[in-house]
Amino acid sequence: MLTVENERQLSPNDVDLYLFHEGTLFEGYKVFGAHYEHVDNEDGFRFTVWAPNARSVSVVGDFNDWDAGKHKMKPVKQSGVWTSFIEGIGVEERYKFAIETASGSVVLKSDPYAFYAETRPNTASLTCRIDGYKWHDSKWMRQRDKKDEYHRPMVIYECHLGSWKKKEDGKLLTYRELADELVDYAFENGFTHIELMPIMEHPYDRSWGYQITGYFAPTSRFGSPQDFMYFVDTCHKRGIGVILDWTPAHFCRDTHGLGKFDGTPLYEPCDPKLADRPQWGTYNFDFSKNEVVSFLISNARYWMDVYHVEGFRIDAVSSMIYLNHNNDLPFDLKNKYGGYENLEAIDFIKKLNEAVFIEFPSALMIAEEATDFPMVSKPTDAGGLGFNYKWNMGWVHDILRYMSLEPSERRYHHNLITFSMLYAYSENFILSFSHDELVYGKRSLLNKMPGDEWQRFASLRVLYGFFMTHPGKKLLFMGSEFAQFDEWKDLEQLDWKLLDFPMHHAFHDYAVAFNHFYQETSCLWRLDHEEEGFEWIDADNSNQSIISFIRKGKRKGDYCVIVCNFTPNVYHHFKLGVPASGPYLEMFNSDAETFGGTGQCNRKSVESIDEPFHNHPYCVETTIPPLGISILMKETKKRKTMKAYDQV
């Protein structure tokens, strides 16, 4: 951990400089930026910045009336790095770097490594000490390193802090207030992790944090760095992991940020064709510069070291590995071999993952990657990119397209719900109903469903059930757990009043019950990434738009039989192959009245029939609910009292 008691010289030494220019200074946050020091019996802050093409650099702030002539920084051995110690500066002092460019003009820049920043619309960096917080998550941290996330349940709650909930006067909740409300809510609703849309400092609310100016500063919109530590600490005390959205692909062009930092393209490529990202109005990072690689990898390790987060969902990976992905330039970019891959970005990604996992073996490194680039979630020594998870965006696209069809049309598009199993084990997948699917006119999950109110809610229940039982970990965007009616409105809080309406309340009960049932049912997650964890019973029943399959756990006999019906027809005495004889108990049924359904449930156990069917030695006859999912498990005394729809 970073503390002043480390007794290390914070100004760059020869080793620091060598590693920085080599692209291997993975703890650059201990060297660059503004650090408290006690020098010659004087307290103050040492400032260090990389600006290789500057004529001169000064630290300016309220403490010197923003006069660039008062605190000039010294160049360090012609390394392009500048440093200075200023005595008498306290915490939360505003500062910037005044950089004299080669042309003689002076630009004011925020500190790229600042730990804290002014609240927008102000743009100065703030001096800060991040070593004083007393953590209470030592037990969590010890256990985290022993956890095998691949074989554990994972239901992630994706959240935008600015619009999850607001105060009565419309102001934002603070990190500490969110710790009191959001963390309990996530725990009680059966989520294992909270994923935060980027909380790194950013100037524009409606960029949602994806266009960053302060990569090392938790946004001051919600409080101080210590307040954010409290939020993470509270999550850990409640058994909730924290994942941050992270954007190493590009950064915003605001004049106080990284763009043309020393008067020249520094963090971005020198070639404008490679630097510009027209679609987003941003600059790409230049992964060919070792100093940029050191900056970004240091940033990833910083959040895990200083703030104890579990890992990252890395945004826009496809835009990193392909030169022309999401690029509106009127021509194609090519690498030195004539291909379309960004070779430097691919090398960076591999190096990033290696550097993170060597220090944090239990880290979650999740790629939002939308193409069929191979081996994204495979180790680098096996030829992969080194992530340990990838969003399954193909499954999300297919299932949402399928569910938007009228039930009578679904029989003609049956492959949309079965195709995913042809590639389900090619990567370690997370199924993600994220914010990307619920904005810009795409409508909420509920509003994607066709039909009247009952059909839409029933379709949403079977969709959620298929989502929770399909192989792969899970991610759900906030509000979807109570069937938010409108698509996400980033300037407003979620429509919490919908919980006053019976159908929304019932759906919320359903989602919460399913989340808890999922966590308690090991066969739904124990072998998520191994082929022996899944077996089709019948994948070909397109005429009735019904699929049936088995999810298996590690232990013999640990399995459940799952049937999904994507039409409003009810089927009694529906014959279904099962692997073993004996009574089967329906443990979950989305059509239970308590969930807003019609009550077409199997209240009594279903006895197997000694007759081969569906390539299984036995079969059962069961009721299949309309637009519903039914989950059967072998009956035991314990399970008789555990029916999920009887627990609400």
The beta-carbon contacts of 335-344 under 8 Å, at least 24 apart in sequence, are: 342/287, 344/286, 344/287, 344/288
What's the burial of 9, exposed, middle or buried (CB within 10 Å: 0-12/13-18/19+)? exposed
Q: What pLDDT is attached to residue 11?
A: 72
List, for residues 262-319, the tens digit of each pLDDT value. 999 999 999 999 999 988 999 999 999 999 999 999 999 999 999 999 999 999 999 9
7: pLDDT confidence band, cut at 50, 70 and 90? Answer: very low
pTM exceeds 0.75 for this model: yes
627: pLDDT confidence band, cut at 50, 70 and 90? Answer: very high
Q: What pLDDT is attached to residue 638?
A: 77
Question: Which residues make up the CATH 2.60.40.10 domain(s) of the chain?
Answer: 4-126
List, for residues 438-490, the tens digit of each pLDDT value. 998 899 999 999 999 999 999 999 999 999 999 999 999 999 999 999 999 99
Average pLDDT over residues 583-610: 96
DSSP 522: G
Query: 516 and 642 in contact (C-beta within 8 Å)?
Result: no
Catalogue the E-assigned strands of 282-433: 282-284, 311-314, 364-367, 389-391, 429-433
List, for residues 231-247, the tens digit of each pLDDT value. 999 999 999 999 999 99
Average pLDDT over residues 342-350: 98
Average pLDDT over residues 499-526: 98
Q: What pLDDT is attached to residue 135?
A: 97
Q: Is the pLDDT of residue 323 over 70?
A: yes
Q: What pLDDT is attached to residue 648?
A: 60
CA torsion through residues 431, 199, 314, 28, sign: negative
More confident residue, 494 or 7: 494
Q: What is the mean pLDDT of the chain?
A: 95
List, for residues 375-424, the tens digit of each pLDDT value. 999 999 999 999 999 999 999 999 999 999 999 999 999 999 999 999 99
Overall fold of domain 154-524: TIM Barrel (3.20.20)
Q: What pLDDT is attached to residue 639?
A: 79
Q: What pLDDT is attached to residue 643?
A: 67
Question: Which residues make up the CATH 3.20.20.80 domain(s) of the chain?
Answer: 154-524
Average pLDDT over residues 92-114: 97
CATH 2.60.40.420 given to domain 4-126: no
In angstroms, rounded to a whole number, what is the distance separating the alpha carbons of residues 349 and 353? 6
Q: Is the pLDDT of residue 646 over 80?
A: no
Q: What pLDDT is attached to residue 426?
A: 97
Looking at the chain, the whole-number percentage of residues with pLDDT higher than 90 is 93
Question: Which residues make up the CATH 2.60.40.1180 domain(s) of the chain?
Answer: 533-646
Q: Is the pLDDT of residue 8 over 60?
A: no
644: pLDDT confidence band, cut at 50, 70 and 90? Answer: low
Q: Strand, coil or helix: what is 424?
A: coil
28: pLDDT confidence band, cut at 50, 70 and 90? Answer: very high
Q: Is 368 a catalytic residue?
A: yes
Q: Is the pLDDT of residue 3 over 60?
A: no
- The b-or-e profile of 290-319 (16+ CB within 10 A means b, else e) is ebbbbbbbbbbbbbbbbbbbbbbbbbbbbb
Q: Strand, coil or helix: what is 644?
A: helix
Q: Which of 149, 233, 268, 368 is catalytic?
A: 368
H or E element, residue 34: strand 33-39
604: pLDDT confidence band, cut at 50, 70 and 90? Answer: very high
In angstroms, rounded to a whole number, what is the distance separating the alpha carbons of residues 618 and 582? 9
> Which DSSP string corresponds to 124-151?
-EE----S------HHHHHHHTT--GGG
In angstroms, rounded to a whole number, what is the distance separating the alpha carbons of residues 414 and 486? 28
For 533-646, the fitting CATH number among 2.60.40.1180, 2.40.70.10, 3.40.50.1100, 3.30.70.1230 is 2.60.40.1180
Question: Peptide bond before 121: cis, by omega within 30 degrees of 0?
Answer: yes
Q: Which of 227, 262, 291, 315 is catalytic?
A: 315
List, for residues 478-511, the tens digit of each pLDDT value. 999 999 999 999 999 999 999 999 999 999 999 9
Lowest mean pLDDT among 46-55, 138-147, 193-202, 590-599: 138-147
Say which amino acid occupies 572.
Answer: H
Query: 47 and 127 in contact (C-beta within 8 Å)?
Result: no
List, for residues 115-132, the tens digit of each pLDDT value. 999 999 999 999 999 998
What Rg do the C-alpha atoms of the chain give, in angstroms? 27
Q: Strand, coil or helix: what is 38?
A: strand
Q: Is the pLDDT of residue 59 over 60?
A: yes
Q: Is 315 a catalytic residue?
A: yes
Query: 501 and 517 in contact (C-beta within 8 Å)?
Result: no
